[in-house]
Amino acid sequence: MSVQTWTFIIVGLTFALYIGIAIWSRAGSTQEFYVAGGGIPPIANGMATAADWMSAASFISMAGLISFMGYDGGVFLMGWTGGYVLLALTLAPYLRKFGKFTVPDFIGDRYYSNVARTVAVICALIVSFTYVAGQMRGVGLVFSRFLEVNINTGVYIGMAIVFFYAVLGGMKGITYTQVAQYCVLIFAFMVPAIFISINMTGNPIPQLGLIGNMTDGSNMALLDKLDQLHRDLGFAEYTSGTKSMIDVFAITFALMVGTAGLPHVIVRFFTVPNVKGARISAGYALIFIAILYTTAPAIAAFARTNLITTVSEQQYAGMPEWFKKWEETGLIKFEDKNNDGLIQYVADKSANELTIDRDIMVLANPEIADLPAWVIALVAAGGLAAALSTAAGLLLVISTSISRDLIKMQINPNISEKGELLSARIGAVFAVIVAGYFGIHPPGFVAAVVALAFGLAAASFFPAIILGIFDKRMNRQGAVAGMIVGITLMLFYMIKYKLGGFGGGTAEDWWFGISPEGFGTIAMAVNFVVSFAVSRMTPPPPQEVQDIVEDIRLPSGAGEAHAH
């Protein structure tokens, strides 16, 4: 059977599975719609969190990014896993004990203020929309590459699927579909990785293959071989980076804190039965994530070595079939500058003849390693699972923000349960349409700002939540001032150095040598300082709020998530 046929079969089967689960687990109440009734077993919640978290970027782009960044790629690996330690230790158990439905719920109640709630809602919407647009685009890309449909048709199909189970199933439907999606995506990621690891190092465990020796007869360590290849071609050594240490630190920190502050990740911890469950499910989530995140750097190093040894100084005419195939998509470009018929792939830009899009590293891996057609189809299904599960989680946050944080808590507090559920569903419809619009007409800035969603989350929510739990004296004035200053500063830096607004600027003008991706760390620190200073100059929070803080610090009696 051809790759095309296999792809239709496997993608079709997985989609049927997702829809089946959505129908079986559709939500009947707002509580089920928002937090799945608070009854999800921790291990299932861990899987759902992992799928929610790992987006098209983690699945398709990350290994390729690391492949081209070498050591510097570690910022993503540490940043996107280390955040779970912060989440498990400093946020998840307390927010679960608090027992409401959303992050703005917590901010609004803890800071006894609808202004704080509104600021939090706006931050949540900005973060979620920048993130979801990238996901719908990812769905479109996978469809267009593997099913050879138009990219917009791909986005429409993705919209229809997400629409179906997010609108119908709410959090309950999404959770169980995400469990299935996790299984699909991790299987799809591991199978080619294991095959390639055996090919190159003789070790079936990619994590061990990475520190193993080559089986090409040289018996050199794989990473030494790769460093040597890099040196020979004039690239920086694979295992040492090119970014400055301060920037590596700032980016890693911003990604960690941003991860812990992303509303669609936090909300997952409202779905478990109690505080104990919230703690352990963060642990499960990180194990499930770590399986992919420790395999990705192995794939990156394998693919990089494989690529260089396959193409460097080789006859262009003698390239394998996958090379030609990806050349047709424009993701590999070859230009024979010195007309010798050989491929020169070197660091020197004027002599280099080959450009490779980093996204193809994962997608083309099975073909490069000559794996069977069903594995290639599986990778397509895995990429779709990753993109759809993340999109659904984000859409739910958006719809909840609209129906609960805006309509129920502010505009019409007397809305009936049925009305609220209906407005949540309408909110989801609205969110799907907006996300689809951005997927089809991606504004130029979307790709640039997706990575910055983390900086925004770090600069806005994280300090307000942490201080809300750990600093009893923190009051409304401090938190609101901190959030506003933090997100404004982050937006300013992002617009100035990423999008060229406010006079723009280059890497030389960066403050303290920190890139926009890492600036969330600075904006977060400023948020903390402002919150602290303002809160100490203004009256302490009322007694009942201080009692709330006392209460969320103790784990017992969390009960069900409650409406009020």
Q: Which residues form the interface with other proteins (CB under 8 A)?
A: 66, 71, 73-74, 77-78, 81-82, 84-86, 88-90, 93, 207-208, 210-213, 221-224, 239-240, 245, 248-249, 252-253, 274, 276, 279-280, 282-283, 286-287, 290, 293-294, 297, 550, 553-557
| Closest to other proteins by CB, 292 or 459 | 292
Under 8 Å between Cβ of 137 and 439: yes
Q: Which two tokens stand for residue 396?
A: 């739910």
Cβ at position 261, least distance to other proteins in Å: 16
| Closest to other proteins by CB, 214 or 369 | 214
* Other C-beta atoms lying within 10 Å of the C-beta of residue 100: 20
| Closest to other proteins by CB, 90 or 152 | 90
Residues 6+ away with beta carbon under 8 Å from 360: 64, 326, 331, 332
Element (H, E) at 354: strand 354-356
How far is Cα 31 from Cα 82, in angstroms, rounded to an integer? 30
Residue 317 per-residue DSSP state: G
| Closest to other proteins by CB, 12 or 559 | 559
Residue 444 per-residue DSSP state: T
Cβ at position 282, least distance to other proteins in Å: 6
Full DSSP string of 212-229? SB-SSSS--BHHHHHHHH
E-strand ranges in 410-477 read none
Question: Angle at Cα 268 formed by Cα 24 and Cα 108, nearest 5°?
Answer: 120
| Closest to other proteins by CB, 255 or 363 | 255
| Closest to other proteins by CB, 90 or 488 | 90
Q: Position 562: which residue type? A: H
| CA-based nearest residue to 359, from 329, 385, 334 | 329
Cβ at position 3, least distance to other proteins in Å: 31
Cβ at position 123, least distance to other proteins in Å: 25
Cβ at position 558, least distance to other proteins in Å: 8
Cβ at position 266, least distance to other proteins in Å: 16
How far is Cα 283 from Cα 326, in angstroms, rounded to an integer? 39
| Closest to other proteins by CB, 239 or 329 | 239
Q: What are phi and psi of 440, to 5 degrees?
A: -85, -40
Cβ at position 82, least distance to other proteins in Å: 5
Cβ at position 197, least distance to other proteins in Å: 13
Question: Angle at Cα 42 formed by Cα 41 and Cα 47, nearest 5°?
Answer: 100
Q: What are phi and psi of 333, to 5 degrees?
A: -130, 130
| Closest to other proteins by CB, 128 or 201 | 201
Cβ at position 213, least distance to other proteins in Å: 6
How far is Cα 114 from Cα 104, in angstroms, rounded to an integer? 9
How far is Cα 530 from Cα 250, in angstroms, rounded to an integer? 20
Element (H, E) at 290: helix 275-311
| Closest to other proteins by CB, 73 or 486 | 73
| Closest to other proteins by CB, 282 or 483 | 282
Going from the C-alpha of 333 to that of each of 138, 259, 304, 357, the distances in angstroms are 22, 35, 17, 9
Cβ at position 464, least distance to other proteins in Å: 19
Cβ at position 268, least distance to other proteins in Å: 15
Cβ at position 252, least distance to other proteins in Å: 7
| Closest to other proteins by CB, 17 or 221 | 221
Q: Which residues pair with 333 in a beta bridge?
A: 355
| CA-based nearest residue to 305, from 235, 407, 254, 372 | 235
| Closest to other proteins by CB, 223 or 392 | 223
Under 8 Å between Cβ of 33 and 27: yes
Query: To which residue do tokens 């609808």 refer?
Result: 114
Instruction: Give me the helices (H) in 147-244, please.
Output: 151-201, 206-210, 222-233
